[in-house]
Structures are given as structure tokens and as C-alpha cells.
Structure 1
Amino acid sequence: MTNDETRPETRHLGQQSTLPSSPEEAVLDYVPNPRPDALYTIRFSAPEFTSLCPVTGAPDFAHLVIDYAPGDTIVESKSLKLFLGSFRNHNGFHEDVTVGIGQRLFAEMRPRWFRIGGYWYPRGGIPIDVFWQSGVAPEGLWVPDQGVANYRGRG
């Protein structure tokens, strides 16, 4: 915690931060869940996510949707934005990138439940959608539809 015990120590919040050069270099900040006794869902949408094709080096674009039911911590949003931005120069297949993001967040954050949907824009005429979740959602958790339509000029 900081000297002001109301706000935890973070590396990014309220600080000048540069985009990490790789996902491995990215540091995610976690803060205490303000409602640890409540069962609720947090959603992050990243409609302009980019990474690089590991074969051609060409950019790949996706709309990522991350949903989770927090445990003791929540991910700080600025550090998450920097982490996701670090993939701009990262080579990876859609499946590896999507599942890797989900597994890292799940392992570090230890939420009650986690899922990620990677809705990848087509290259070569085929959109690829990749989904990963930590398990069955807890009973009573509201899990909304991710709201990304099947590809029809996805927007």
C-alpha cells in the first residue's frame, strides 16, 4: 500500500508508462477487490487488438472480450492496456495469443472465474474465433453474451 492507505502501490496508475516491448516484459498491476463478498462480472473489450502473424509478420487484428468474476484482486486497467498493447510486435498464432492472455491473467489474478473471446478479423477470407475459460461459471453469476456478432464485416 502507499502512504495513503486507500490506494495500493501500482507501477502504472498515475505514472508515465511506456508500452512494453513484449508481453513477457509487461507488468500487470492488481489491486484489492473493492467488493470481495459480492459475486459479479467485470468485462474488458479491446476492439482494436493487434499482434503479428508468426509466419508472414503481417499484422493480425482482433476484438478481444475478457470477462471475469474477481476473487481477492482486480486487474488495474492501465496495466492491462499496456499488456495488450505489448502484443503489437509479438508474433503468435491467434490460438496461442488468445489462450495465452487468458491463462496469464487467470494465473496471476486468481479470479473465481475467467473467460476470453478472441474474435479475429479474416486474413485469407477466414475469420478465426478463439475462446478459453477457466471452468464453469459460479452458480448465480450473470454471464452476459460477449456481444460480438459472427463475422459480417465485423465491427
Structure 2
Amino acid sequence: MLLILFSLVFFISCNRKNKFREKYHYYRAINGRDTADLTISKSKNYFKGEFKIMYGSKAIMDSGYVRGKIVGDTLIGNYYYISYGGQGESLPITLLMRNKKLIYGSGVLTKWLGFRYFDTEIPIDFESPKYIFEKINENVK
């Protein structure tokens, strides 16, 4: 009887882990000598993940995490990172999903009470992006 109860608890806990397992998507963008890696998990309305930018080599980089909301085909959030040789920073980030790629948007930054955000009066530019992320295989990372 005890063995059956133990087996039942084990089976339920295994199923629970599988039910809530997050699925990550891996992306990479290259701009000249710079490489950016983005790993994100998406739900219906939100995303989160890791973001790393390597400047010229792997020795100099910014790395941290991203999180935010999904509005239509756009991911809007913040990038919390530690700059190479610096301290913790936070920047707004906007990514447009188009043709199975993520386009890194740029805009004019405004600061209020220490928080940086995109100026709402000036549209985000997706036409000349610094990075265009393409999906890569998890093993390439």
C-alpha cells in the first residue's frame, strides 16, 4: 500500500513539472564584429529571458535578462544588465516579430525619476535596426 501511495505521489509530481516547463527560443544577431544572443520564453501576454551582447570578442560584453509584455507582434520590456567593467543598468527594449525573426527597435530615450524609457512622441525605428535576430538551434548556443 505504501509503495502504491509513493508511486502515485511520484507520478503526480513528475506530471506537474512537465506541465509547467517553459519552452525557450534561441536567437542570434550579428552586426559587424558584434554578436547578440537572445534566449526567451513567451507566454500569451509576457516574455522573459536572457540577453547578451559581445562587442568584437567574448571578452567585452553586456549581459543580463529581459522581461516585458507582448502586444500584438511586438515585445516591449526592459533589459537589465551589467555592463563590462560597470554596474547594473536598465534599458527599454522593443522587438518586432516579423517572418520568424525579431527586429531590434531603436528610439529616443527619455529619463524620468531615474527610469529610462522610449519617448512616446517619437516612433520606434524598425527600418534600420542594429540587430535582426534569427532563430538558432539550442545546441549552437
Q: TM-score w.r.t. structure 1 length?
A: 0.28
Q: Which has the higher strand share?
A: 2
Q: TM-score w.r.t. structure 2 length?
A: 0.30
The structure showing larger relative contact order (alpha-carbon pairs under 8 Å, at least 6 residues apart) is: 1
When Rg is computed on C-alpha atoms for both structures, the one with the higher figure is: 2
